[in-house]
Amino acid sequence: MNCNKKTVKDVDVRGKRVLLRCDFNVPRDKETNVITDDKRIRAAIPTISYLLENGAAVVACSHLGRPKGEWVPELSLAPVAARLSELLGKPVKMAKDVVGPDAMALAAGLKSGEIMLLENLRYHKEETKNDPEFAKKLASMADIYVSDAFGTVHRAHASTAGVAQYLPAVSGFLVEKELRVIGGALNNPERPLVAILGGSKVGDKLGVINSLLDKADTLIIGGGMAYTFVKAMGGKIGTSLCEDDRLDYARDMIAKAKERGVRFLYSQDFIAAREFSPDAEPVVISGDIPDDMMGLDIGPATRKLFCDAIRDAGTVIWNGPMGVFEFDAFAHGTEAVARAMAECKGITIIGGGDSAAAVEKFGLSDKMTHVSTGGGASLEFIEGLELPGVACLLDK
């Protein structure tokens, strides 16, 4: 996939209506529906401000939650429009529908320097099905399409890929940075390149591990997925997470790493407990985990092993926690990795999702070179898959 795509700076937006795909899928309080974290809204401001300052009329759009084609009032984007208006210091007109008469009329009357927001795209099942007629209606409201929702570019939806069939399509600043930083780290990294993978399942990261064995100098495996590797190499893991159908795969990956001269590190000791609970008593285990215990974090020796590799890296890419970091007693491994990355003098990239939540929890986001806005998208990007929402953009 060519990552050298045209951006908003490569097209003349003055006097044009721009359909801008944002990622306003923000967390909300379940009781009050109040936005609890506006980071994704703030992330869209640079592109929106550039467009408005350069004379564009902006028709912003996004999904929120999973209404599955139903009109779910609590998933309305109206609170997002209100917060966006506060951040921009100007009115954001809120459409009552997505491609209906209200949206069409608002878009038609939009003047240069003005912005509106369509209702939740996923109120229409045609959005996720990439329905051509729905995409055409969306596109009819604008002259140019700008993609700035990296968290959705791995989905071939109407608003992420379909509209590019009808409009010239370029990236916003958020997508441009993701492509430049992650693409650069994979294609021309400062070495040594250290890749860290965590999370619960090996099956979720099969393609990524394979791909990284061709690129990385050191590959670190932590989190729940590590126990499959430990068991594959003859270790006892008690009641820890394990994918028995992936044991041969784990052995193959370790052998492949050895063949290619890639340093392959996984958990050597563990923080275990008898139950999966925030109140469970943590026990340091070196060697085999007892039959009635489960590993919930990496142990102190493993922390040192991983952190030493990270501190000396030229580039580090991290996707997935080292343990159950939501429980404070089992967050020390994930925090140690985050702190080692903060101390690393090289390029440090957090691949979105739980890793981004972890560095945020530990107050280290601003110490990283780049924190990706898309967990699933960054994983597929690292794996080398074509991202429909990027492939559809105009090449430079």
Q: Phi and psi of 306, rounded to 5°?
A: -65, -45
Q: Rounded CA gap, 82 and 110, in Å?
A: 18
Mark whether 40 is an active-site residue: yes
Q: Is 260 a catalytic residue?
A: no
Residue-wise pLDDT for 275-320, tens only, equals 999 999 999 999 999 999 999 999 999 999 999 999 999 999 999 9
Does residue 202 carry a pLDDT above 90?
Answer: no
Pairing state of beta strands 269-273 and 283-286?
antiparallel
Indicate whether 201 pLDDT > 90.
Answer: no
Element (H, E) at 269: strand 269-273
Catalytically annotated residue among 16, 21, 40, 205: 40
Active-site annotation holder among 353, 374, 375, 389: 353
Say yes or no to pLDDT of 352 above 90: no
Sheet of strand 169-171: strand arrangement: 92-94, 115-117, 57-61, 17-21, 144-147, 169-171
- Kindly report the average pLDDT of the chain as a whole number: 96
Q: Which residues of 347-365 are buried (b: 16+ CB within 10 A; e: fewer)?
A: bbbbbbbbbbbbbebbebb
Helices and strands per DSSP (H, E), number in the chain: 14, 15
Domain regions of the chain by residue span: 8-174, 182-383
Summarised one tens digit per residue, pLDDT across range 223-275 is: 999 999 999 999 999 999 999 999 999 999 999 999 999 999 999 999 999 99
pLDDT of 375 over the 90 cut: no
Query: Is 113 one of the catalytic residues?
Result: no
Pick one of 3.40.50.1260, 3.40.50.300, 3.40.50.720, 2.60.40.10 as the CATH number of 182-383: 3.40.50.1260
Taking only Cα atoms into account, the Rg of the chain, rounded to an integer number of angstroms, comes to 23
- Write the pLDDT tens digit of every residue in 83-93: 999 999 999 99
pLDDT at 364: 97
pLDDT at 369: 96
Select which of 65, 183, 376, 384 is catalytic.
376
Same CATH topology for 8-174 and 182-383: the answer is yes
Per the annotation, the verdict on 201 as an active-site residue is yes
- Candidates 3.40.1710.10, 3.40.50.1260, 1.10.760.10, 1.10.10.10; CATH matching 8-174: 3.40.50.1260
The pLDDT tens digits of the residues spanning 12-70 come to 999 999 999 999 999 999 889 899 999 999 999 999 999 999 999 999 999 999 999 99
With a pLDDT cut of 70, the percent of the chain lying above it is 100
Write down the catalytic residue from 129, 136, 201, 367. 201
What are the φ and ψ backbone dihedral angles of 311, each rounded to 5 degrees? -60, -30
Report residue 371's pLDDT band, with 50, 70 and 90 as the boundaries.
very high
Distance (Å, whole) CA 110 – CA 88? 17
Query: What is the structure's pLDDT at 30?
Result: 85
3-class SS string, 77-146: CHHHHHHHHHHHCCCEEECCCCCCHHHHHHHHCCCCCCEEECCCHHHCHHHHCCCHHHHHHHHCCCCEEE
Q: Please, what sign has the CA dihedral across residues 348, 352, 353, 359?
A: positive
pTM: 0.92
